[in-house]
Amino acid sequence: MQFDPMDYPYASRRMVTYGARGMVATSQQLAAQAGLQILREGGNAVDAAIATAACLTVVEPCSNGIGGDAFALVWVHGGLFGLNGSGPAAQKADAASLWKQGHKAMPRFGWQPVTVPGAPGAWAALSKRFGRMPLTKVLAPAISYARNGFVVSPTVAAAWQKQYQLFSRELDGEEFRFWFHTFAPHGRPPQAGELVQLPEHAETLEELGQTGCESFYRGALAQRIGDFAARFAAPLTAEDLAAFQPEWVHPLRVQYRGYDVWEIPPNGHGLVALSALEILKGFDMTCVESVEWYHRQMEALKLAFADAKAYLAEPKDMQVTAESLLDPAYAEERRKLIGPKAILPIAGNPASGGTVYLAAADAEGMMVSFIQSNYQGFGSGLVVPGTGIALHNRGCNFNLEEGHPNCLAPGKRPYHTIIPGFISKNEQPVGPFGVMGAFMQPQGHLQVVVRAIDQGLNPQAVLDAPRWQWTGGRTIEVEPHFPQHIAAALSRRGHEVRVSMDVASFGRGQIIWRSDSGALAGATESRADGCVAAW
């Protein structure tokens, strides 16, 4: 990808980071350094990605954990491989029983939104297929930080504090006390600059390394999770864990102005970003930083999201195919709906048929786009006693509407918000990118691609640029440094523009792109405690 490394239209405290022999970019500097350490010791980009991901469960537990899900895109041997590490609902999951209990939507806390965690299985699958080092060595930096302690960084401390306040207010059952024992043992969350140790987490990571993560699904850890669930009559069982295997998938792509943009197929919603790009590529987008430029992106995104809300689910349950949603003829139909005024989006009729992100690259050409999450902060509020494993609440993304493709059902995976991205050109890798943040993620992907390809910005400028997000109806939230004259012009077009001070809600991104000469250019998010560790 061609860009001017000194092209910096947006204020930033960072410049593009360059390297040649290896690079890791993520939202917390200790985790990025852990990945670089593995590269220096002879590991490849997959080894570095797993090391970074495991370390993030320790140093940024308010966003992800061992009990969460993960997805990956890996460029190797001249091709791109996708891994879906999201787990299904328990075999005893029952939407009807939740209705009878008075729930109109999936509960946020407790056992009901806990699906089988897929992150450990994803680590093992990546390591077995592409890794060079044993997991015992790859997980060693994370184990060291958990056992010996790490210093809490500012953004992590703020998120930890926010979650503690929420859990203190909302969680009062016996099943939740283990979270407070693990993550607030002194009756409060840690402060920025405070040394924290997670010894039970360290023991669990050691067991995962020694067993190739088998213990989590078919061993001692699985039994502890199953016993904890049975103690509270939860749907999840050890048998549900034992049945899980990550799934290797064929990534989806659209061609956008000479580049191929890749996403994981459903049940993830990378399809939203691809659908929006397919709509946008029929427009002239050279009018960068104009009201028309922003308006077209917002309207395309809204239409893509409307389709996702109606159709996206576990692939076998979808009433239409992902390919039909990306069909150029269908995109043309959707494009015709975009006029000069903001619309209220509705689904079309195609032909039937709490998150962390990291990027890693090595000198041999392997590149990894990896994302894992507990979904909402620490997740369900449940920690398996004696293990440090915080269980996610990914099942919140199911709905309880009978007949809907994304309705809760036994053994079914939910609509999933975490998505890794990748760009290539002429069958050669450009590199991985990602933006964390639930339903902001495809919106962030869209904005990254448009700013990089249509606007020609360098990776750091792409991430530093002011962001917007559609939150429903005609409402668009913008960051405080979003151009005021553009916001005013969008309002005149019918968008309900609101300035949001919640900077974290606009996502946190990372990028590593490779030049034709083989140089690596990395960027990390100014909205987080991010770091690009380069060699």
What are the residue numbers of the active site? 355
Q: Please name which of 149, 147, 145, 141 lies closest in space to residue 196, comparing C-alpha atoms.
A: 149
Q: What is the DSSP string of 227-284?
A: HHHHHTT-S--HHHHHT---EEEPPEEEEETTEEEEEPPTTBTHHHHHHHHHHHTTS-
Phi and psi at residue 472, to the nearest 5°: 135, 150
Q: Please name which of 414, 142, 91 lies closest in space to residue 266, comparing C-alpha atoms.
A: 414
Cβ atoms of 239 and 400 closer than 8 Å = no
Phi and psi at residue 148, to the nearest 5°: -90, -15
- One-letter amino acid of 525: E
Query: In the numeric block, which tokens belong to residue 36?
Result: 């670089």
Give the SS3 label for residue 132. Answer: coil
Q: What CA–CA distance (Å, rounded) separates 285 from 65?
A: 39
Query: In the numeric block, which tokens belong to residue 155?
Result: 């953004």
DSSP 8-state symbol, 122: H
Cα angle 481, 482, 488; round to 5: 130
Q: What CA–CA distance (Å, rounded) separates 292 from 182?
A: 50
Cβ atoms of 206 and 216 closer than 8 Å = no
What are the helix (H) ranges across 149-242?
Answer: 154-170, 177-183, 199-211, 214-218, 220-231, 238-242
Q: What CA–CA distance (Å, rounded) separates 94 from 89?
A: 9
Cα dihedral 168→174→175→178 (10° resolution): 70
Q: Please name which of 261, 293, 331 lies closest in space to residue 454, comparing C-alpha atoms.
A: 293
Q: Strand order in 468-472's β-sheet?
A: 468-472, 475-478, 496-499
Separate counts of helices (H) and strands (E) for the chain: 19, 21
Q: What CA–CA distance (Å, rounded) separates 32 from 10?
A: 25
CA–centroid distance for 327 within its chain: 25
Q: What CA–CA distance (Å, rounded) separates 535 from 90?
A: 44
